[in-house]
Chain A
Amino acid sequence: MTLDAQTIAHEVLLTPTGLAPSDLDGVMQQLLRPGIDTADIYLQATRFESWGLEDGIVKEGSHSIDHGVGIRAVSGEKTGFAYSDDMALPALLEAAGSARAIAHQGQEGRQEIKTETPRVELYLPIDPIDSLCEVDKIALLKRLDSESRALDPRVEQVFVSLSGSHEVILVMGQDGALHHDVRPLVRLNVSVIVEHEGRREQGSYGGGGRTDYRYFLDGDRASEYAREAVRQALVNLDAEEAPAGSMTVVLGSGWPGILLHEAIGHGLEGDFNRKGTSAFSGRVGEKVASPLCTVVDDGTLPGRRGSLTIDDEGTPTTSTTLIENGILKGYMQDKLNARLMGVSPTGNGRRESYQHLPMPRMTNTYMLAGPHDPEEIIRSVKKGLYARNFGGGQVDITSGKFVFSASEAYLIENGQLTRPIKGATLIGNGPDVLTRVSMVGNDLAFDTGVGTCGKDGQSVPVGVGQPTLKVDSLTVGGTRVQD
């Protein structure tokens, strides 16, 4: 018999300490004293495990359990917050007392604008940790180790890691409605080091999503991770110094969509725009990209790592159009910033755990497919760079400057890919880089389920995507100065 998510949430979070929904109502009444505009109670239990293979053996395994409650009271722009890993009623009442002390006399809070977004279940309420027995988990790791080594004699080291988590949440807002979610998440990764005539290089590939471990036994998927990791490492053995300076850059589809996450994503989070600290503040309605660019943040893609049925404030996720045909349309909002800006929340209120405050965060950020053939895009470049894979990136949302680091790239000379070059960091300016997108491919792809975003000390899983696209000029941080 499979349980539904709501039953699971109640059994995991309320039953152990004998809490009833009416007890939560009682805590909420304690929170909603004069001067408090909004409040929420967030209960969470997370179970996590990881396994690591190295030197051909499973050396490492860990398991963790964390549970607690975070209680928040908001008065105007002020937030009081307390949390406890003790989920019994007295602890909740104590935390509520600490949180509501933020109340400020004479505050006239703005009212929240409700959303009509329906709730759509985007994943099954399963616990991935028990979806494979230990013997099968280890067999998977060992199989990928053998396959990776068999692909090429230059493979010297192989690291395979598997992790899974099961997160259960309940959140009650000041309207008394109790929202639940049960969120699985899995991830498998293969990293290799290759060696040839004294030179060593590495490659890494993996994926996952909001499902269980059997996802990795589907068809050829896990073997593809091994093949890709080895292929990238071998390409790097031949990589030469990267050029330095401004040039045309073609970005591959999928994970290179980190361009969007860094260049415009963070800059379009509601908190920065409410405060006016973002380079995109006050620019709704303006042209911030070429007309070929439409970019959305969509939390409703089924089963993706960056997706959520509801955000961590109980708001169902939605697809938010950020840029439409080059024009800035809107921001991503959590409840607090939406209320202060007089708009609806967009289901982007996320928090790392019950110990953290929610804030606007991305879900799956991607650019819609365009009209061009990817091969045509490369052929159109006389001299430039094709960056197919990336590591991570970073952005200064006030100045607008952002970076992302290529991990697999090639020179383009007269429309052909010629030599592989070493990973270099690319730097640009968010508000104008997309205005220089002159070709957008028809091959939209999403990342394989590997993204983690950090903001203000809080990490959350995210997704990115894009088609192959051409940026007329971007600064490439290589070591070889061009003539």
Chain B
Amino acid sequence: MSTLPPSTPSELSLDDLKNLVGDCLEEARRQGATGSEVGLSIESGLSVSARLGEVETVEHHRSRGLGLTAYLGQRKGSASTSDLSPKAMKETVEAALRIARYAAEDPCAGLPDPELLAQDCENLDLYYPWPILPQEAMALAIRCEDAARGVHPDIRNSEGAALNTFEGIRVMGNSLGFLHGYASSRHSLSVSVIGERDDQMQRDDWWTVARDARDLQAAEAVGQEAAQRALRRLGARSLSTRQCPVIFAADIASSLLGHFIGAIRGGNLYRKSSFLLDYLGKPVFPDFVHIEEQPHLLKALGSVPYDAEGVRTTPHHLVRAGVLESYVLSTYSARKLGMRSTGNAGGVHNLIIEPGPDNLEGLMKTMGTGLLITELMGQGVNLLTGDYSRGAQGFWVEQGIIQHPVEEITIAGNLKDMFQGLVAIGNDVDLRGNTRTGSILLEQLTIAGN
């Protein structure tokens, strides 16, 4: 466990930042705000990229931001600035209140219910600064890319490898007395390479990400994985149009859960722009599906002690035995729906779907003949209707065995049917993000090709 730093790269301590937030809340009160909420963040980092064995870019990052929402009764306005001087802070408060004066009275507007606010700031073990020098970062990126390029002579080109390391502090306060902050870090290493065979070029990539640099996958392993992925795409061709079962590989299966979360988000529910409107208590998935949110997992990428408004985050079920048990609500959307905030202002935090017993090979055997999707393109998802149509890339599978790579196809259906037709979730869980899922097998989609 790491303790909070005595100073940050910008020479401001957590206490200094809390004082700044306090000053801003006081300035808002002084200018006549009946309520206010202030967020302040400071971030610093280093990004290094290398290509074909040489350094390509070295970027030093340093940014600051202050954002405020001010209320005049039920009217609100927001403003933000990158300048933390007292003068800029005063002008930012003025700007927010100027807007609030013209905004309409909104009966649901306002700060969270005080009893829902987090009382303390639980230490979720998110801060592991990495004092890596630019030269060391360059060497690591080059090692990663070298490993990728050394896998096979068909790896003829590279978009390069990149190492990113960031750390920051976020402080939030409101006029109800909430004032908390915490530091966090995030480090990643990625590489993208190009395979070439018979006049066809295909690229693919792999990456590793962690709060603690010691938890990053080894550079050589990242490089090898990226190269293998690029190589297996070579020889890709389209398919004739058909309907068949589809497996979404683990790293892209998270997109399906993302659409599900979008459909049960308060904003879309009160606007009646969700295909899962009024589904609370109803089955959305088959009865072996369980989905929950775990916001307090130590060191995890999505962990937060409180949501974007300061409301306590709590582990809870979203889906149990296929039935929708909870929406995803902020204070405002909850009020619009006559419900309570679920601590999800800003989104969900560590979304987990319970894996099944089989790995990806097992899922492919269960599928028999169908499509394994490894990449999706485009935005063709309509959350109002559930209509789904996206470009895809992957592999044609027969009797559980990959036959050949596939590209230039689309997959289409409707999310409501897709969720009901979920057949299995693999145990090949991808831990590299805010959503933890294995590969997902769906009963049927329409594949359009040549």
Supposing A392-B379, A403-B390 touch, asked if A63 and B61 sit within 8 A by C-beta, the answer is: no
Q: Which of A78, A134, A394 is within 8 Å of B102, CB to CB?
A: A134
Contacts of B91 in A (CB 8 A): 65
Q: Which of A62, A67, A135, A395 is within 8 Å of B82, CB to CB?
A: A67
Q: Does chain B have a CB within 8 A of A475?
A: yes
Q: Does chain A have a CB within 8 A of B197?
A: no
Query: Which of B103, B241, B389, B390 has most chain A Cβ within 10 Å?
Result: B389
B378: min CB distance to chain A, Å: 4
- A160–B63 Cα distance when bound, in Å, is 32
Q: Are B202 and A424 in contact (CB under 8 A)?
A: no
B429: min CB distance to chain A, Å: 26
Q: Are A403 and B57 in contact (CB under 8 A)?
A: no
Contacts of B92 in A (CB 8 A): 63, 65
Q: Does chain B have a CB within 8 A of A436?
A: no
Q: Are A478 and B201 in contact (CB under 8 A)?
A: no
- For A429, the closest partner residue in chain B by CB is B408
- A229–B57 Cα distance when bound, in Å, is 44
Contacts of A395 in B (CB 8 A): 377
A81: min CB distance to chain B, Å: 4
Q: Are B377 and A394 in contact (CB under 8 A)?
A: yes
A132: min CB distance to chain B, Å: 12
Query: Which of A82, A85, A99, A401 has most chain B Cβ within 10 Å?
Result: A401
A208: min CB distance to chain B, Å: 20
Query: Which of B103, B236, B243 has most chain A Cβ within 10 Å?
Result: B103
B270: min CB distance to chain A, Å: 9
CB-CB contacts below 8 Å: A193-207 with B: 193, 195, 200-202
Q: Are B407 and A78 in contact (CB under 8 A)?
A: no
CB-CB contacts below 8 Å: A43-69 with B: 49, 51, 54, 57-68
CB-CB contacts below 8 Å: B259-302 with A: 271-273
- A63–B272 Cα distance when bound, in Å, is 28
Q: Which of B60, B242, B378, B448 is within 8 Å of A81, CB to CB?
A: B60
Supposing A77-B56, A475-B238 touch, asked if A244 and B194 sit within 8 A by C-beta, the answer is: no
Q: Are A391 and B78 in contact (CB under 8 A)?
A: no
Supposing A200-B272, A477-B389 touch, asked if A57 and B99 sit within 8 A by C-beta, the answer is: no
Q: Does chain A have a CB within 8 A of B449?
A: yes
Supposing A246-B450, A478-B389 touch, asked if A399 and B82 sit within 8 A by C-beta, the answer is: no
Number of interface residues of B (CB under 8 A): 76
Q: Are B54 and A77 in contact (CB under 8 A)?
A: yes
A143: min CB distance to chain B, Å: 15
Q: Which of A49, A398, A422 is within 8 Å of B201, CB to CB?
A: A398
Query: Which of B98, B377, B391, B412 has most chain A Cβ within 10 Å?
Result: B391
Q: Which of B62, B88, B201 is within 8 Å of A65, CB to CB?
A: B88
A457: min CB distance to chain B, Å: 10
Q: Which of B57, B82, B96 is within 8 Å of A66, CB to CB?
A: B82
Selecting from B306-314, B359-367, B380-388, the interface stretch reads B380-388
Q: Are B449 and A424 in contact (CB under 8 A)?
A: no
- A405–B194 Cα distance when bound, in Å, is 27
CB-CB contacts below 8 Å: B66-109 with A: 76-83, 88, 91-92, 95-96, 98-100, 102-106, 109
Q: Are A394 and B58 in contact (CB under 8 A)?
A: no
Q: Which of B81, B393, B413 is within 8 Å of A64, CB to CB?
A: B81
Q: Are A277 and B390 in contact (CB under 8 A)?
A: no
Contacts of A193 in B (CB 8 A): 271-273, 384
Q: Are A83 and B62 in contact (CB under 8 A)?
A: yes
A388: min CB distance to chain B, Å: 16
Q: Does chain A have a CB within 8 A of B64?
A: yes
Q: Does chain B have a CB within 8 A of A230?
A: no
Q: Which of B82, B273, B393, B413 is within 8 Å of A401, CB to CB?
A: B393
Q: Which of A61, A99, A425 is within 8 Å of B378, CB to CB?
A: A425
Q: Does chain B have a CB within 8 A of A111?
A: no
Q: Are A479 and B412 in contact (CB under 8 A)?
A: yes
- A113–B77 Cα distance when bound, in Å, is 49
Query: Which of A60, A77, A477 has most chain B Cβ within 10 Å?
Result: A477
Supposing A396-B203, A481-B243 touch, asked if A202 and B409 sit within 8 A by C-beta, the answer is: no
Q: Are A59 and B106 in contact (CB under 8 A)?
A: yes
Query: Which of B54, B60, B83 has most chain A Cβ within 10 Å?
Result: B60
- For A427, the closest partner residue in chain B by CB is B391
Q: Are A200 and B385 in contact (CB under 8 A)?
A: yes
- A426–B408 Cα distance when bound, in Å, is 10
Q: Does chain A have a CB within 8 A of B411?
A: yes
Contacts of B448 in A (CB 8 A): 244-246, 427, 475-478
Q: Does chain B have a CB within 8 A of A482?
A: yes
- A476–B380 Cα distance when bound, in Å, is 12
What are 12 A-B contacts defined by CB distance under 8 Å? A59-B104, A62-B78, A63-B80, A102-B55, A200-B273, A244-B412, A277-B194, A355-B63, A357-B59, A401-B377, A427-B377, A481-B242
Residues of A participating in the B interface, judged by any CB pair closer than 8 Å: 49, 51, 54, 57-68, 77-85, 95, 98-99, 101-102, 134-135, 138, 156-157, 193, 195, 200-202, 242, 244-246, 275-277, 279, 355, 357, 391-396, 398-399, 401-405, 422-429, 475-482
Residues of B participating in the A interface, judged by any CB pair closer than 8 Å: 51, 54-64, 76-83, 88, 91-92, 95-96, 98-100, 102-106, 109, 134, 157, 159, 194, 200-203, 233, 236, 238, 241-243, 271-273, 377-380, 382, 384-385, 387, 389-391, 393, 407-414, 446-450
> 11 new A-B pairs (CB below 8 Å) besides A101-B58, A275-B159, A477-B391?
A60-B76, A63-B79, A77-B56, A157-B272, A201-B385, A245-B241, A391-B380, A401-B408, A475-B408, A481-B242, A481-B243
